[in-house]
Amino acid sequence: MSDYATTLTRVEDYFDRTATRTWERLTSTEKVSRIRQTVREGRDRMRAAMLARLPADLTGMRVLDAGCGPGVMTAELAARGADVTGVDISPQLIRIAEARLNPAHKARVRLVAGDMTDPALGHFDAVMAMDSLIYYGEDDLVAALERLASRAPQVVFTVAPRTPFLMTFWTMGKLFPRSDRSPIMVPHAHARLAARVPGLTRIDRVSRGFYISECLEVRR
């Protein structure tokens, strides 16, 4: 099994079997722990930064929400008029996204359990990949970006930046030192990725408690 496939299986196991309820709560309005509240707030800020890269009116645009999870980004894209395909490796999270979907948007939303880089998903005007590529090493990340960019002129995505804080926890393998912690994120340096991915630019960085993420964009 390739490194990409191995990581994909590990991510599916985590989100579909170990932490489904954790992520259902995190992406809801339910009360969570102080640490997870900072993650929720950080993700909200990052989602807003990513959505700001798209027009306010998305009517007629086809957008892929790559790694849609429980569908928060999918819902916001649909509310702005986009025809959205939300894909996630976890069937459990897809079921949550389906249950939360606004009935008024169902005609414009397709939810799929599977690999976000699957070419069978089709071509799009834009791809949004929030915190769904953060578990992959450089070679696999670059390859995944190439597959996504070949089917959309704009790919907005996040990585874990190579900060001293994240590098320390990455080395320890204990970003969340609990039995339900997520698969280990792989920090990346923007300069290294830019040298390998044509059209890559850095957009923003969000740091809120235990949430540290960097928004990058590929335009071609």
In the chain the domains, ranked by start, together with CATH numbers, are: 3-219 (3.40.50.150)
- Give the 3-state secondary structure of residue 27: coil
Which phi and psi angles does 160 have, rounded to 5°?
-85, 120
Chain centroid, CA 158 distance in Å: 7
Which phi and psi angles does 62 have, rounded to 5°?
-100, 120
Contact 51, 76 (CB under 8 A): yes
pLDDT per residue over 92-136, tens digit each? 999 999 999 999 999 999 999 999 999 999 999 999 999 999 999
Of 182, 7, 14, 15, residue with least CA distance to 94: 15
pLDDT per residue over 46-92, tens digit each? 999 999 999 999 999 999 999 999 999 999 999 999 999 999 999 99
Token duo for residue 58: 């998305």
* pTM for the model: 0.87
